[in-house]
């Protein structure tokens, strides 16, 4: 699907010199199209600069990205705070004060990115090259561009001296890609002042997609619950030249095969049912009827297999699921080890009790010489769609894409939102971009990219959302 038509734009401004100068003399409501264009062009340049900071996790090195934001805040005269959870693991936040008593709005994103192997990319993953109307680079979709459009909206409020009915807080965190222990999770435990008084959170998690001309915008309201487990198999060690009937490795292989072939019962929670019904409004004829009654469709093995082959992420929303991801056996080819280990990434439907699921998994394995150990697990929570932030997102989408299908969504992956939902903060995953379905593979994949038009329009949409929620 081709990109939307690009509008003419003015040249990129020199760094930090005249980024939003017209906003100093006018209110936000009086911004001209030229002002918005300048804001978008600055977003493109800042996105490139941000992408060039290598924050691959591990090790993260988010302190370098935090310094990037600190420099901008200093130049803009905005008070900010930062904290390192470990050497090199930076977190940074800034707050615009409102005069009302409404709970604060948090603009949240993470600074770390997953690894990128240059030999599989068409250009350096950290060069932020512009080609064919797109910026290429690790983090364009996950989630550095989102962070920049949030920053631009935050700075526009500051420059416009916009009266606010609630505080607006910009937070950039470390370590989301590894679970958030050095980022959002650390802030919740050690620096709750960063989001004091907050009630609404806008984070990554979903956004717009387009395929065959069908535009779908999803606003993430909940997630499957991650439960990362280690399987530890023990057995008698020996020499590889004389294989016994059973070893730690063969036991583990048998256990993993049982997990791989086990069909977990379908469990359709209300949020998932609503998500599929919403998608059904714009689904292809092949899937429209299935999505309207996904509870019935999910009981048919052939339908589920077909859905899994087409969209494994959607199929995973309908039941508990485990992926076998890491294996460890002997350190030497001719040694039968006393222990073999596997790590599996299980994702549970939001109403699933983790302890009950672990017991079910142990019964599937059915081997007393294999123990199941918990590595990490979170708790479920669902954010209501009846909030000012959700309504603002929906209204903004409707202004820019009048015919788009809009639906609350459930994600198979997890984000830092769960830390804040656990505290009772309404949190939504939404990036104001319309991404061709073919480009989704760039997330954690090769040649990750975003169009310049998405950056420009996304900056404008983010500003509209924030203003609708926070401005008087």
Q: Where do the domains of the chain lie, and which CATH numbers do they carry?
A: 21-223+381-470 (3.40.630.10), 225-377 (3.30.70.360)
Does 24 score more than 80 pLDDT?
A: no
> pLDDT tier at 32 (50, 70, 90 boundaries)?
confident
pLDDT tens digits for range 140-163: 999 999 999 999 999 999 999 999
| DSSP three-state, residue 320 | coil
d(C-alpha 319, C-alpha 264), whole Å = 6
- State the pTM of this model: 0.87
Tokens of 173: 């965190």
Does 8 score more than 50 pLDDT?
A: no
Does 29 score more than 60 pLDDT?
A: no
Cβ 36 vs Cβ 171: under 8 Å = no
Share of the chain above pLDDT 70, in %: 93
- State the CB neighbour count (10 A cutoff) for residue 402: 8
pLDDT tens digits for range 416-442: 999 999 999 999 999 999 999 999 999
- The DSSP string of 97-146 is PPSS-EEEEEEEEE--B----GGGSSS-TTS--EETTEEESTTTTTTHHH
């Amino acid at each position: 699907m081709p990109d939307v038509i690009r509008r003419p734009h003015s040249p990129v401004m020199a760094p930090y010199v005249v980024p939003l100068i017209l906003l100093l003399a006018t209110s936000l409501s009086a911004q001209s199209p030229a002002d918005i264009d300048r804001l978008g062009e600055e977003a493109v340049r800042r996105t490139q600069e941000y992408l060039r900071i290598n924050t691959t996790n591990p090790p993260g090195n988010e302190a370098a990205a935090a310094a990037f934001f600190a420099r901008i805040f200093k130049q803009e005269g905005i008070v900010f705070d930062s904290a390192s959870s470990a050497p090199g693991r930076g977190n940074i936040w800034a707050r615009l004060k409102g005069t009302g008593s409404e709970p604060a709005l948090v603009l949240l994103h993470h600074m770390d990115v997953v690894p990128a192997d240059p030999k599989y990319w068409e250009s350096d993953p950290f060069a932020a090259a512009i080609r064919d109307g797109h910026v290429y680079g690790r983090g364009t979709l996950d989630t550095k561009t989102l962070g920049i459009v949030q920053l631009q909206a935050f700075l526009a409020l500051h420059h416009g001296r916009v009266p606010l009915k609630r505080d607006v807080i910009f937070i950039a965190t470390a370590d989301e890609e590894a679970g958030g222990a050095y980022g959002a999770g650390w802030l919740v435990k050690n620096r709750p002042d960063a989001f004091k008084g907050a009630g609404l959170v806008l984070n990554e998690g979903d956004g717009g997609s387009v395929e065959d001309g069908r535009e779908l915008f999803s606003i993430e309201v909940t997630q499957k619950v991650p439960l990362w487990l280690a399987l530890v198999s023990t057995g008698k060690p020996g020499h590889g030249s004389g294989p016994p009937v059973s070893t730690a490795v063969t036991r583990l292989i048998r256990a993993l095969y049982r997990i791989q072939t086990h069909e977990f019962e379908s469990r359709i929670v209300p949020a998932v049912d609503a998500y599929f019904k919403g998608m059904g409004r714009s689904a292809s004829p092949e899937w429209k009827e299935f999505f309207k009654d996904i509870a019935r469709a999910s009981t048919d093995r052939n339908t589920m297999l077909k859905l899994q082959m087409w969209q494994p992420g959607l199929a995973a929303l309908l039941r508990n699921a485990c992926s076998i991801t890491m294996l460890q056996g002997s350190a030497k080819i001719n040694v039968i080890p006393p222990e073999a280990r596997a790590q599996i990434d299980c994702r549970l439907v939001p109403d699933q009790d983790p302890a009950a699921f672990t017991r079910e998994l142990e019964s599937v394995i059915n081997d007393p010489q294999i123990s199941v150990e918990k590595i990490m697990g979170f708790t479920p929570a669902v954010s209501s769609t009846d909030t000012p932030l959700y309504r603002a997102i929906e209204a903004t989408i409707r202004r820019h894409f009048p015919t788009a299908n809009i639906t609350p969504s459930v994600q198979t992956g997890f984000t830092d939102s769960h830390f804040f939902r656990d505290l009772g903060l309404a949190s939504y995953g939404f990036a104001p971009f319309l991404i061709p379905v073919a480009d989704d593979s760039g997330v954690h994949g090769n040649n990750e990219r975003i169009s310049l038009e998405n950056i420009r329009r996304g900056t404008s949409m983010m500003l509209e959302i924030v203003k609708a929620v926070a401005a008087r």
